[in-house]
Amino acid sequence: MKDPKGTNLTWHTGEVDLVARRRAHGHRGATLWFTGLSGSGKSTIAHRVERRLIERGAFAYVLDGDNVRHGLNRDLGFSPADRVENIRRVGEVAKLFTDAGALALTAFISPYRADRAAVRERFDAGAFVEVYIDTPLEVCESRDPKGLYRKARAGEIADFTGVSAPYEPPEAPEIRVRTAEHDVDACAAQILGWLDARGYLDGDEGETER
């Protein structure tokens, strides 16, 4: 079929709306924003939830330091301004995944309320789910999987969250997970149960639809 002048080209963008995406994927798009101390279990639990979601056929993806710091944010260091920009960009990428109909899981300490609030503001109601991995400092420090607390206590790492820099816990997180009391599968099940109960894993619009 010929159309030399391209007059049949329509200049619409966004041919697929959120409802159609939700129906196609069998769940809504949303971001699960994990926050908590170093060693609290954010990344471990996020990856377990991701696996369970994918086993159920959902489209899920974890954004964390491993895949963001060496790629998108490799131009950023650890100055206060760069830390803010790191979280801002992660929020924007999570928003793109959410707009795409995915369940994005972000696993960053993100210690400051203001930074988390700024990300939340970019989302529609219900599309941003704050998951507070509420693990006591002494438990995180006893795990110390990367030896970072030891180095921080020895003064080898400056501004280490929980030791020499503040962590501002969420005041009203959608989900609070206590990893000192439950194992990884139980924590993941808690999060999946929360999503299930609120219709996030349904392909049809429900009360949580924006």
What amino acid positions are annotated as catalytic residues?
110
CB of 194 to a second copy, least distance (A): 18
Separation CA 107–CA 44 (nearest Å): 9
Q: Which is nearer to a second copy, 57 or 193 (CB)?
A: 57
CB of 58 to a second copy, least distance (A): 8
Cβ–Cβ contacts within 10 Å for residue 114, how many? 9
The CA-atom distances, in angstroms, between 68 and each of 74, 89, 103, 118 are 8, 9, 17, 19
Per CB under 8 A, the segment of 21-29, 112-120, 162-170, 193-201 that binds a second copy is 21-29
* Token code pair at residue 189: 């099940």
Rounded to the nearest 5 degrees, what angle is found at the Cα of 32, between the Cα atoms of 115 and 19? Answer: 115
Cβ–Cβ contacts within 10 Å for residue 42, how many? 28
Q: How far is CA 165 from the centre of its chain?
A: 22
CB of 92 to a second copy, least distance (A): 4
The footprint of a second copy on residues 115-174 (CB under 8 A) is 122, 135, 139, 142-143, 145
Pairing of strands 128-133, 60-64: unpaired
Binding mask 26-55 toward a second copy (x if CB under 8 A, else -) reads ---------------x-xx--xx-xx--xx
Residue 9 binds to a second copy (criterion: CB under 8 A)? yes
Q: Which is nearer to a second copy, 5 or 197 (CB)?
A: 5
Separation CA 50–CA 184 (nearest Å): 12
Q: Which residues bind a second copy (CB under 8 A)?
A: 1-6, 8-16, 20-21, 24-25, 41, 43-44, 47-48, 50-51, 54-55, 57, 59, 61-64, 66-68, 71-72, 75, 85, 89, 92-93, 95-97, 99-102, 122, 135, 139, 142-143, 145, 179-184, 186
